[in-house]
Chain A
Amino acid sequence: MKSALTLVAIGSLCALGLALLNDWTEPRVQRQAAEAKLRALARALPSTQEAVRPMPQGSENTTETFLSEKNGHPTGYLFSVQSPAGYNGMINAWLSVNLAGNIRRIYTFSHQETPGIGHIIEPHQPFVRQFEGINLLSDRLELRSKGGHIDAVTGATITSRAMVDALIRGRPTFLAANSHAKSVSQ
């Protein structure tokens, strides 16, 4: 009985100590986790000197959107785009566009495309580089076989089409970010 009480007493002391310490560390940990996430996101940008910060979300669009900045000047937006039309399921990518909507960089972070063929949508591949400079809204996002200007990769037509699909699905996010930025500046 006495030993049980000892155990309970020391256990409570340990728990109290941990709870107090947790109170002190938790806000710090959360702040650093958020910072680490932003640092990781900055890797999806074309320039290493840029940083990202979260943008307030509009009610009409729920995609998390970030503003990319260089030396405090906004350079564009960063948000995720996805398409369920991949050969083997979802394709997820970070899309960075400038303020006018021209594509700066596509950074695919998850996909289940066939290994050896689907790698065309991974970062720095020529297939995704060809999108850079194309305007997300005003340019025609379509494969050459359908009359557009995007070169599909032979043998990976479905993957190529899915990437285009993901970009088209990103249009509303860009519009929301753009209209939000305008409403702030006015």
Chain B
Amino acid sequence: MNNDQTSAHASFSHGLWRNNPALIQLLGLCPLLAVSHYAVTAITLGLISLIVMVLANALISLLRPLMTDLIRLPLQIMVIASLVSMADLLLQALYFELHQRIGLFVALIVTNCAILGRAELMARRSNASAALMDGFSMGLGFFWVMCVMGMIREGLGRGTLFAEAGRLTGLPLADQGFRLLETPLQIMLFAPGAFFTLAFIIAGKNYLDQLNESKQADRVSQQTSR
């Protein structure tokens, strides 16, 4: 029981941190860099990717008995593409203006290697619940990086946070969002800003990991010296 819990915990932190699809595997960078200029669009795309990842992993895992080597890849892509198209249609029907902003990138989720990668590496080899869990952990890992990128870039590049969120999602939020800066750094909204932000997040993660490692090393050396 205890062992099971730790392994579930390990596989969960796998996607969130240790093997994060965006920060370590560096997969799915196209939407990550292109849509993260506003917090609202970044969060939406991150959320759709998360949902597609969970469902794709679960479905592909369920289709395991049918999956021979010959048709493995077309089958996986077909499942992913159908799910993405469904998400695209639903977004267009429910949040039309949001779809106008990021519609192109929703369709591009099909080509997000992070999703096919999980299907290939994990889902087709494990049972449905493990695959579901894996998709959730990886999707959440991608989602939080999207959120952080979106908030940093909008905050610095536009000086606001969650601007237009109310209008685009129909939630009761102020149209101007929160005002953070009076003189924004516009470059953060453009492609270079996306790369800067991603670089800083990766650097920050590596720094935290190193700090953690050296702490553990200290603890080990203390124990051995005793």
Interface residues of A (CB under 8 A from B): 3-4, 6-7, 10-11, 14, 17-18, 21-22, 24-25, 28-29, 32-33, 35-36
A24 touches B100 (CB 8 A): no
CB distance from A46 to the nearest CB of B (A): 21
Q: Which residue of A lies closest to B70 (CB)?
A: A3
Q: Which A residues lie within 8 Å of B71 (CB)?
A: 3-4, 6-7
CB distance from A39 to the nearest CB of B (A): 9
The number of chain B residues with a CB under 8 A from chain A is 21
CB distance from A138 to the nearest CB of B (A): 41
Please choose the segment from B11-19, B41-49, B79-87, B196-204 that sits at the chain A interface, where 4 or more of its residues have CB less than 8 A away.
B79-87
Given contacts A18-B82, A35-B96, 18 further A-B contacts (CB under 8 A): A4-B71, A6-B75, A7-B71, A7-B75, A7-B78, A10-B63, A10-B66, A14-B79, A14-B82, A17-B86, A18-B85, A22-B89, A24-B93, A25-B90, A32-B93, A33-B96, A36-B97, A36-B100
- Number of A-B residue pairs having CB atoms within 8 Å of each other in the complex: 50
User: Dominant SS at the B interface?
Assistant: helix
CB distance from A43 to the nearest CB of B (A): 13
B78 touches A10 (CB 8 A): yes
Interface residues of B (CB under 8 A from A): 63, 66, 68, 70-71, 74-75, 78-79, 81-82, 85-86, 89-90, 92-94, 96-97, 100
Closest 9 A/B residue pairs (Cβ)? A25-B93, A32-B96, A14-B82, A28-B93, A3-B71, A25-B89, A3-B70, A6-B66, A3-B68
Report the Cα distance A35→B167, complex, angstroms.
Answer: 14
CB distance from B219 to the nearest CB of A (A): 52
Report the Cα distance A112→B94, complex, angstroms.
Answer: 37
